[in-house]
Chain A
Amino acid sequence: MLARRIIPCLDVRNGRVVKGKQFKDIIDVDAPEVLGKFYSDQGADELVFYDITASSDERKTSLEFVKKVADVINIPFSVGGGVSKIEDFTDILRKGADKVSVNSSAVKNPELIKQASEKFGAQCVVLSIDAKKNDKESWSVYVKGGRENSGLDAVEWAVRGVELGAGEIVVNSIDEDGMKRGYDIELLQAITSRVRVPVIASGGAGEMVHFRDAVLQADVDGILAASVFHFGEISIQDLKAYLKSEGIEIR
């Protein structure tokens, strides 16, 4: 059977990995290939790079990091951020990424998922969803870095994304992001019970038990986290040993 995946997420700006706490105090950390290799050696099962470079002109240069990462790491990785057309998929996959993730641009143009899936295969297309609880006891999809409510229902959008050809769904909880009190289990359950592709939990990790709960309570295939790894609060080795001891299949 498949092992649950532990996935560190790295933000890249102008070709460099940066970190910050809730978008504040952003500092330059290292080159993506150096940090990527570090996490891969620590036992990460997969890596996610989000390019947060502001302008699209600069992003083209920034994306040169993808090839450097592909040259030095030997685990799968995905790249997202600013992907809005089929040419972006071609470019990123040619540079050696295994998957490409789309977010706001897919909300604006759902056909992008279909086109990419038909051209490169569903396994290359990741739909990343930023979800926030609304007053109707469900979750809305937010776009533009979580600033704008798209009006879409998060669970329905996940289902639609899979119908269009997405091979994996990353669910980011805006409510829990940076709160360190655990993943949004209800949201994840609502999505894993409706789709037949891998679902990755994102947003809310603070302690090792949160990773366990996301797997055992919401049956997610992978667990993504950023700051707990970057600030050394949880080591991947310790986390994997703990999850194994809890009876979860881990590589």
Chain B
Amino acid sequence: MHVIVDYGLGNLNSVQKGFERVGLETVVTDDLQKIKNAKSIILPGVGAFRDAIERLKKLEMFDLIIKEAKKGKPIIGICLGMQLLYDKSYEYGEYKGLGLMKGEIKKMEISLKVPHMGWNSLKFNKNEDPILKYISEGEYVYYVHSYYADGMDKEQWIATSDYEITIPGIVRNENIYGIQFHPEKSGMTGHKILEAYKELII
């Protein structure tokens, strides 16, 4: 069983449908036992970092996700879900994240329009990573965000997009993946990314 963690923020339907379209059945749940027994964990999310972390803690998911990650269970964070994987965030204050990725979440201080909203192209940092298997460099994906992962460890960057600064689009730390854009909203390119991910975890 693959679980989509429901911590009470945002619409999880489109993420679930995205996986369903590549043939991966998922269960949306807030049940700790199910998360513990799951084969893989999908951490979605929209909204503010602070609210999300508070809810994860309140629902006793915070420590559980870290524990499962350390055991080697595949985890993928999408959009805000990716940002939650990092050490800390400066969104509306300073908050500690799950600490599964190295780096900090910061506001984009740039001259271009923020939020970074729309279709941007991907540059590959790790051509050989299996999640890129079905897509080519230069394909477009759909982003909506105002904060970004200022990753100190560039070794974790799988693919990035340019928006005056370098935006990590796909990151990876062994069994943990993070995707800043919305693969479930990124047309065929997003579909192929989810397909490649599915093959990694089944």
In the complex the two chains form, is A167's CB within 8 Å of B117's CB?
Answer: yes
Q: Does A45 contact B (CB under 8 A)?
A: yes
- Min Cβ gap A117→B in Å is 12
Residues of chain B lying within 8 A (CB to CB) of residue A167: 115, 117
Residues of chain A lying within 8 A (CB to CB) of residue B119: 2-3, 5, 45, 251
B:8-39 near A, CB below 8 Å: 11, 13-14, 17-18, 21
Q: Does A221 contact B (CB under 8 A)?
A: yes
Total B residues in contact with A, Cβ cutoff 8 Å: 29
Bound CA–CA A75/B190 (angstroms): 9
In the complex the two chains form, is A70's CB within 8 Å of B144's CB?
Answer: no
Q: Does B46 contact A (CB under 8 A)?
A: yes
Interface segment out of the listed B52-60, B129-137, B180-188 = B180-188
Interface segment out of the listed A93-101, A127-135, A207-215, A226-234 = A93-101
Question: Contacts A1-B162, A76-B185 hold; do A94 and B120 have CB atoms under 8 A apart?
Answer: no
In the complex the two chains form, is B118's CB within 8 Å of A198's CB?
Answer: yes
Question: Contacts A40-B187, A74-B18, A74-B191 hold; do A96 and B13 have CB atoms under 8 A apart?
Answer: yes
In the complex the two chains form, is A1's CB within 8 Å of B11's CB?
Answer: no
Q: Does B113 contact A (CB under 8 A)?
A: yes
B:67-121 near A, CB below 8 Å: 113, 115-121
- Min Cβ gap B184→A in Å is 6
- Min Cβ gap B195→A in Å is 12
In the complex the two chains form, is B163's CB within 8 Å of A71's CB?
Answer: no
Total A residues in contact with B, Cβ cutoff 8 Å: 26
Q: Does B177 contact A (CB under 8 A)?
A: no
- Min Cβ gap A248→B in Å is 13
Which residue from chain B places its CB closest to the CB of A67 in the assembled complex? B13
User: A-contacting residues of B (Cβ < 8 Å)?
Assistant: 11, 13-14, 17-18, 21, 46-47, 113, 115-121, 140, 142, 144, 162-163, 182, 184-188, 190-191
For the complex of A and B, the 9 pairs showing the least CB-CB separation, nearest first, are A251-B140, A2-B118, A3-B119, A251-B119, A123-B144, A76-B185, A123-B115, A96-B13, A75-B187
| Further 19 A-B residue pairs, CB within 8 A, beyond A74-B185, A122-B115, A123-B115 | A1-B120, A2-B163, A3-B119, A3-B140, A40-B187, A45-B119, A70-B13, A74-B17, A74-B186, A74-B190, A75-B142, A75-B186, A96-B11, A98-B185, A121-B46, A197-B113, A198-B113, A198-B118, A251-B187
